[in-house]
């Protein structure tokens, strides 16, 4: 899921290669009655038949779509109105020399200051591309299994993977500064769910991560666990630090908003068995959209 730069539309990708564009104003306006028509997409199109959409990212000029082995860029005019939009540009993910499989592009993050696009992929690598030239700048290697999640803040990039590693990269010298393995900590390990990390969040002082291990907040300076969140889940796929709150979801009947010390502020019932995506904005509509393994948003 992603919002358009103006914030008036929600853009959604599914596992069948379809992009759907919803007009938010009627859906958000509680004064009016929402009709069946209001709940249908304003526009929809297929990127490629039966190629799953794994990640979406909004920039000022483009909707960037991560699929299998490729990243596509579409202009907003095309996304909003064209039934068969042509893509403006594409990037091929480099294939490993001994592999015929194309890696999934599981997560996309943009550093707006220098127009660098970070792509966490199914071949264990994080690729860095220049959005203007589409050229590969470098590759961050270190994960031993596929990369599930990425987040970026203040020259720090954090990646979480199927291998149970959370790696923090300093983008000034492109080196790993911290590496943690939550599953080796008794406080958070859940051997029955595995090592994998499904969601990471970061700000200047704190690192948030969860997956098979319980959702936990780590102090960046000491790399000690400060809070283990008391939520009912069978795996975390969303972990975000937003202002002074924590957003979290995954294989659970609820989506959570919590304080840093673990107090639950809001529990939102969800329809999917597993929530894979949550996006929010303040302007022009204060909106949180949650989606996952369900036909409903």
| Closest listed residue to residue 146, CA positions, set 107, 194, 93 | 107
Assign 3-state DSSP to the chain and report helix, strand, coil percentages, each to 5.
5, 50, 45
Q: Give the count of alpha carbons within 13 A of 10, CB side only.
A: 26
Regarding beta strands 225-228 and 216-219, do their DSSP bridges make them parallel or antiparallel, or are they unpaired? antiparallel
Rg (CA), the chain: 19
**Interval 202-206 mean pLDDT:** 96
Q: In this structure, what token pair is assigned to residue 250?
A: 């995954």
Cα-based distances in Å from 189 to 52, 71, 82, 192, 273: 31, 34, 48, 9, 22
pLDDT of residue 97: 61
Helix ranges (DSSP H) in the chain: 24-28, 76-81
45-72: pLDDT as tens digits = 999 988 999 999 999 999 999 999 999 9
pLDDT band at 31 (very low <50, low <70, confident <90, very high): confident
Mean pLDDT, rounded, for 94-114: 87
Domains and CATH numbers, the chain: 153-296 (2.130.10.10)
pLDDT of residue 26: 82
> End-to-end distance of the chain based on CA atoms, in angstroms?
10
Residue 229 CA to residue 128 CA, distance in Å, equals 33
pLDDT in tens, 168-201: 999 999 999 999 999 999 999 999 999 999 999 9
- Name the average pLDDT for the chain: 95
């Amino acid at each position: 899921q992603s919002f358009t730069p103006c914030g008036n539309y929600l853009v959604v990708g599914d596992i069948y290669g379809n992009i759907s564009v919803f007009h938010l104003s009627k859906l958000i306006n509680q004064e009016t009655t929402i009709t069946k028509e209001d709940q249908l997409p304003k526009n929809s199109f297929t990127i490629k038949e039966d190629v799953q959409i794994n990640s979406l990212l909004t920039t000022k000029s483009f909707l960037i779509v991560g699929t299998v082995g490729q990243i596509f860029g579409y202009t907003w005019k095309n996304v909003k109105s064209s039934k068969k939009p042509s893509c403006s540009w594409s990037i091929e993910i480099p294939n490993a020399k001994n592999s015929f499989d194309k890696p999934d592009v599981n997560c996309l993050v943009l550093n707006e200051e220098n127009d660098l696009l970070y792509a966490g992929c199914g071949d264990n690598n994080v690729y860095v591309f220049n959005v203007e030239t589409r050229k590969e700048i470098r590759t961050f290697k270190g994960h031993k299994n596929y990369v599930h999640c990425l987040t970026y803040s203040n020259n720090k990039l954090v990646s979480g993977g199927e291998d149970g590693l959370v790696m923090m990269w300093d983008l000034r010298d492109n080196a790993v500064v911290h590496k943690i393995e939550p599953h080796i900590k008794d406080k958070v390990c859940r051997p029955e769910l595995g090592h994998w990390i499904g969601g990471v969040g970061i700000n200047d002082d704190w690192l948030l991560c969860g997956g098979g291990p319980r959702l936990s907040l780590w102090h960046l300076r000491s790399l000690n666990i400060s809070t283990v969140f008391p939520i009912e889940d069978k795996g975390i796929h969303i972990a975000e630090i937003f202002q002074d709150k924590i957003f979290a979801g995954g294989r659970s009947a609820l989506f959570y908003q919590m304080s840093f010390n673990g107090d639950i502020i809001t529990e939102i019932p969800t329809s999917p068995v597993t929530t894979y995506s949550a996006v929010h904005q303040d302007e022009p509509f204060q909106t949180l959209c949650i989606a996952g393994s369900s036909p409903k948003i």
